[in-house]
Amino acid sequence: MCTLYSMTRSRDAVGKLFKVSDNRLPLFDGADANFPGTTAPIIRNASDGERELVNQSWGFVLLMDGKAPRRVTNVRDDKIQSSSFWRGSFEERRCLVPASSFSEPKGLKPAVWHWFALKGDEPRPLFAFAGIWRNYKGPLKKTARLLRLKCLLS
């Protein structure tokens, strides 16, 4: 999955294309640019098996000793089943990530971003990426994690 994408289509368009009923389709803000850490809609199966749209924070939080946590949005296909970081989500929490375009960088310092979209009757038609999700409750700053560890050791 890319680290920058847009989702500019309406709530109604998302519900229609992905067959999500109106009562399971909360409001969401369209965005020209979704970077890791922003809130964006995903479509997943609810506990009763029906599709629902939920707003999730983009990217898995990776905690690293001595460093600030970072958001991870890519997983290698040869690691998804063998890595404990990804395996549970891959096996139990798959989703669709609605999008209207995505971007990939070329070069470094400064990178040049190239945008890609599907061709269709309207500009940037709606599509989806395959995704996985999980909930995260915890620190998002280096110091917060250290404080949490100190509290656990006390």
Residue 125 sits in a domain whose CATH number is: 3.90.1680.10
Q: Which domain holds residue 121?
A: 4-153
What are 64's two structure tokens? 């690293």
**For residue 151, what pLDDT is reported?**
44
Return the closest-CA partner of residue 31 out of 14, 49, 47, 7: 7
**For residue 143, what pLDDT is reported?**
55
- 128: helix, strand or coil: strand
How many folded domains does the chain comprise? 1
**For residue 148, what pLDDT is reported?**
47
- Whether a cis peptide bond, with omega within 30° of 0, leads into 110 is yes
- What pTM was computed for the model? 0.82
**pLDDT tens-place string over residues 6-15:** 999 999 999 9
Which residue's structure tokens are 């979209």?
Answer: 117
